[in-house]
Structure 1
Amino acid sequence: MKTVKIKDKEFVPMISEEEIKRRVKELAAQISKDMAGKNPLLLAVLNGSFVFAADLMREITIESEISFVKLASYQGTTSTGTVKEVIGINENLSGRTVIIVEDIVESGLTMKRMIESLGTRNPASVHICTLLLKPDCLKVDLDIEYAAFSIPNDFIVGYGLDYDQQARNLKDIYVLKKEE
């Protein structure tokens, strides 16, 4: 892994593709064990989680389904602080076990809004699975059962995460280089 330049910023390696693959397999094994016999619906939050959701889905060994929802709260490298739903949920969630699949949980406000929205549809249960968790940034109390990595409050790209829609295709995760 080497330093990469995206637009006007430099990023340095943080988490390798091999580490990501290992943790995705571990999460999928845990979900497969915990959700056996439940046929969970994975609800992937676009755009950032699409790579993670695809890899996770392929590693899950039990019957499961996947659908997508799009929420927006980012602009450039910072969160706007407001979440707006762009594409809604079309599935009947009544009595279903739902696993929200997110690329990154920072403040937790997006997850809180998602859980509130899902709750009106009477699911049997709602669980959170995230690739990345920034525990120091959480502003709300959440039960995050499945988190691949806990990271500091840094701006990152790669493996589905972007900087102004760029760098989603990187196989590793990179962190914004500190100013010297």
Structure 2
Amino acid sequence: MPSLKGPPELKHLDHVLVTPLAIKRRIAGLGEQLNADYAKKDLMVIAIVNGALIFTADLLRQMRSPLRLDCLRASSYHDGTKAVGEPRIVDSMKLDVRGHNVLLVDDILDTGKTLAAVAGMIKDKGALSVKTCVLLDKKARRAVPFEADYVGFEIPNEFVVGYGLDFNERYRNLPCIGVLKPKYYAGLV
């Protein structure tokens, strides 16, 4: 594992999948794509929190389009390492999406159930368009036919934490995306 400065929990990682520099560069690239695609368009960004909080903040700093931001809270992990059951919308957004271009931002596209459900809900509320942007895409776990419009990185089927992603609300502040050592979650799922 490369030497990284940061919280002591870095030692809980088996290995780093995506370095802080790679994240920074890819977000800049996503920002340029979004700037081109939404040039001169009013945009509403909806972040799925808590996971997408850090990614969304860094992504918004790259964007030049006029935009409004809202958040919603959805969960399908329920304190484990695998998505279980149907996603729950715990706290919905406050802004009216009717007639707006919406960019839905999430940390990871895993089974696809959460993003499919939330994107469907936003379409049903009358959004003009709904596109999705994810930091990570884990295709091996897809349970429903759903693909993101903008993807930061495709990753293998490993349990990852850092840069907003968590296990039991820990590790979100790590500056990289890393694979958590099983001893830190084994027996807790």
Aligned residue pair count: 177
| C-alpha distance in 2 between matches for 1:73 and 1:2 | 33
Q: Is the strand fraction higher in 1 or 2? A: 1
Task: Describe the superposition over 1:103-137 as per-residue Cα deviations: whole angstroms up to 9, x where unpaired.
Answer: 00001000111012112211100000000001122
Aligned to 1:106: 110
| C-alpha distance in 2 between matches for 1:133 and 1:51 | 17
Ranges in structure 2 where 5+ consecutive residues have no aligned partner: 184-189
Ranges in structure 1 where 5+ consecutive residues have no aligned partner: none
Q: CA deviation at 1:90?
A: 1.5
Assess if the C-alpha contact under 8 Å between 1:46 and 1:68 holds in 2: yes
Q: CA deviation at 1:138?
A: 1.4
Q: What amino acid is the match of 2:133?
A: C
Instruction: Say if 2:136 is the partner of 1:132.
Output: yes
Alignment partner of 1:12 out of 12, 15, 39: 15
Please identify runs of 4+ aligned residues in structure 1 that moved more than 4 A. 2-6
Assess if the C-alpha contact under 8 Å between 1:5 and 1:11 holds in 2: no
Q: What amino acid is the match of 1:42?
A: V
Instruction: Say if 2:47 is the partner of 1:44.
Output: yes
Q: CA deviation at 1:5?
A: 7.4
| C-alpha distance in 2 between matches for 1:80 and 1:44 | 21
Aligned to 2:71: 68
Alignment partner of 1:89 out of 69, 88, 93: 93
Instruction: Say if 2:130 is the partner of 1:123.
Output: no
Q: Secondary structure at the match of 1:51?
A: helix
The TM-score normalised by the length of structure 1 is 0.91
Assess if the C-alpha contact under 8 Å between 1:72 and 1:85 holds in 2: yes
Alignment partner of 1:153 out of 157, 164, 167: 157
Q: Secondary structure at the match of 1:82?
A: coil
| C-alpha distance in 1 between matches for 2:66 and 2:105 | 16
| C-alpha distance in 2 between matches for 1:76 and 1:143 | 23
- Alignment RMSD: 1.8
| C-alpha distance in 1 between matches for 2:141 and 2:75 | 18
The TM-score normalised by the length of structure 2 is 0.87
Q: What amino acid is the match of 1:97?
A: N
Assess if the C-alpha contact under 8 Å between 1:94 and 1:124 holds in 2: yes
Q: CA deviation at 1:2?
A: 4.5
Assess if the C-alpha contact under 8 Å between 1:52 and 1:160 holds in 2: yes
Identity %: 32
